[in-house]
Chain A
Amino acid sequence: MNQTRGGFRFLKNLVHKMITRADRLFIAAIFVVITTSPASAYVDPGTASIALQALIGAVAAGGIFFRAKIGQCIQWLKSFGKRDRGENTDATGPSKKNDDN
């Protein structure tokens, strides 16, 4: 149970670090803009692109970060599997795991 709470806290801290306060204000502001009806003055495409870049940059960076983490998890799981089959000479054995609680 504690592990799950710890896990959630870890994820929450991670998300807060990746999406800063400035980003959250930005997302809120953009949401307001999106929900208003179209205006007659059109935006030059550069403005929309530049206004959005911090946000899409954060999402892109997050995507890259999470993909890297998932890759690490997969590697960890693979090495775990190898340990089970006794292939890895660095095996610490199953008993060590049970001590973490």
Chain B
Amino acid sequence: MAQEPSSFRDPSACVYRFDDRIFRVVKPAGQAAYAAIKDSHFFREAQASGRIVKSTEVSRTEVPSAMDDDIVLEHPLLEVVSYPYEWPFALLKAAALHHLDLQLDALKAEIVFSDASAYNIQFELGAPVFIDATSMRPYQPGEPWIAHNQFCVSFLAPLLLQSKMGIPYQAWYRGELEGIPIPDIAKILDWKKYFSPTILGHVVLPTVLSQKKQSELEKIAKKNFSNGMKISRYSAILQQLREYIAELKLTGVEGSTWSKYSTNNTYLASETAAKIEAVEIYAQKNRPDLLIDIGCNDGHFSEAALRGGAKTVVGLDMDHAALNGACERTRQQKLSLLPLYINLANPSPNQGFAEVERASLSSRLRKSDAVIALAVIHHLVIGCNIPLDNAVDWIVGWGRTGIIEFVPKTDSTIQQMLALREDIFGTYTRENFIIALEKRAEIVVNKKVSASGREIFEYKCHNK
């Protein structure tokens, strides 16, 4: 039984994992708050509707290191754990709204949240779920929103960066881990943006004040709070942020190379249909629990895999407009699809405290048993200069079975990529691809899917 590496900061509770079971040990320090909220209508309704992860009280003997005075809760295991710096804009926005909606409903029941960390939200079947069942406690009359700054850093600032300035937040968020610092977003937003009360109140003013003398500010804060903060104002702040964030849109990505890929690519409709059918049949045959769609674009092949019988699909892509399309598809059809922003040549590594707090992408997806890599290998080899053998090795490592589409050098896309470059890819040939693949797997099916010679290879790994 291992303690979850990311669950160490909270002195009142921590999470353990054993096989496929998740336990939360609530220490005496956190039990009063939990007891006060667990029977509330808000908590019960949120659990029943799936907005907060289900928790069942179990015997403390389930966790060997639990003390006599601990309470132990069990939660269902999440299919996939993902981090805010991997979420496309639509998912971070959905998580922010989910958090605020929960806070607003909780406040009506005089319950508040102790923090506003984006890591406390995960996605199941395309919908956000709040997973920290012990971070709620009764509202103390007059108290302010303690986690307001954390909310602004974790949710508001990254969304503003993309929506107001058209700059993606993922790479920065991955580096900063907690989110985008407020003084930094204040410097980036141009002055015209300052005319919004929300930006003035949550970004500009806090930044200006944070450069002033602490003691002066504390004096003002104390005097102001001698009577406490009215609950109506607390609620109004949440409501204002909720309405503001709901209106934020993804900008800066219109007309990206991949945004119209579904309708505007080098395939004929019949060729796309052939690939979709091949993916469906593959999924029907193998019924994978977790399939990785490498280069998922707007999710049309992920959807085909789910239709065929895959239980869950994680899509990896780097194009923001395409990922937005995948998120929209997921939302509209309630698919068990999680589109993530991942640079295939630089996926999320182990990081955080002791380099274990936030696990690498491959360790979180290690249960994947199937992979599809359609129209992407040439981007790894010719686009990113990764040797063909390494690229095949990396793709094949994601599952027992898979489909890889080989794109020949004569294809117009590759010709375009090489138009202004020296062709140093002498070893990028169909023969070498087959050699690389057969080193690791047995080719089960292969067929041409386009007039230009693109070919899909369905394979099954040796010794897996």
A residues bordering B, Cβ < 8 Å?
22, 25-26, 29-30, 33-34, 36, 38-39, 41-61, 63-64
CB distance from B252 to the nearest CB of A (A): 27
Question: What residues of chain B have their CB less than 8 Å away from a CB belonging to chain A?
Answer: 144-146, 148-149, 152-153, 182, 197, 201-202, 205-206, 208-218, 220-221, 223-225, 227, 229-230, 232-234, 236-237, 239-240
Closest to B213 in A: A39
B316 CB to nearest A CB, Å: 34
Q: How far is the CA of A47 from the CA of B223 in the complex (A)?
A: 13
Known: A52-B209, A57-B232. 4 other contacts (CB 8 A): A26-B220, A34-B212, A43-B209, A56-B237
- With A34-B209, A46-B146: A64-B240 Cβ-Cβ less than 8 Å: yes
Closest chain B residue, CB of each to CB of A53: B144
Residue among B211, B221, B237 making CB contact with A57, cutoff 8 Å: B237
Say how far B49's CB is from chain A's closest CB, in angstroms: 26
Which of A45, A53, A60 contacts B229 (CB under 8 A)? A53
A54 lies within 8 A of B209 (CB): no
B interface, by DSSP: helix, strand, loop or mixed?
helix
The answer to whether A56 and B202 have CB atoms under 8 Å apart is yes
Known contacts A36-B212, A45-B206, A48-B210: A60-B239 contact under CB 8 Å: yes
Query: Would you call A64 and B236 a contact (CB within 8 A)?
Result: yes
Which of B148, B217, B218 counts the most chain A CB atoms within 10 A? Answer: B217
Listed A/B pairs (21) with beta-carbon separation below 8 Å? A33-B213, A38-B212, A41-B215, A43-B210, A43-B212, A44-B214, A45-B149, A45-B182, A48-B210, A48-B217, A50-B221, A51-B218, A53-B229, A53-B234, A54-B224, A54-B225, A54-B230, A57-B230, A57-B232, A60-B240, A64-B236
In the complex, A17 Cα to B217 Cα: how many Å?
25
- How far is A34 from B209 in the complex, measured between Cα atoms in Å? 7
B233 touches A61 (CB 8 A): yes
In the complex, chain A residues whose CB is within 8 Å of the CB of B149: 45-46, 48-49
Contact status A33-B209, CB under 8 Å: yes
Distance in angstroms between the alpha carbons of A60 and B148 in the assembled complex: 14
What's the dominant secondary structure at chain A's contact region?
helix
Q: Measured between alpha carbons, how far is A8 from B240 in the docked complex, in Å?
A: 27
C-alpha spacing A26/B221, complex, angstroms: 9
A residues less than 8 Å from B232 (CB atoms): 57, 61
A72 to B: closest C-beta gap in Å: 18
Q: Nearest residue in A to B239 (C-beta to C-beta)? A: A64
Asked whether A51 lies within 8 Å of B233 as measured between CB atoms, the reply is: no
Q: Which residues of A contact B223 (CB under 8 A)?
A: 25-26, 29
Complexed CA–CA distance, A52 and B148 (Å): 11
A38: B residues at CB distance < 8 A: 211-212
Once the chains are docked, how many angstroms separate the CA of A61 from the CA of B227?
18
A25 cross-chain contacts in B, Cβ below 8 A: 223
- How many Å from the CB of B186 to the closest CB on chain A? 12
| Known contacts A51-B220, A56-B205; is-contact A42 B233 (Cβ 8 Å) | no
Which chain A positions have C-beta within 8 A of B217?
33, 43, 47-48, 51
* Chain B hits for A45, CB < 8 A: 149, 153, 182, 206, 210
* Whole-angstrom distance between the Cβ of B188 and the nearest chain A Cβ: 17
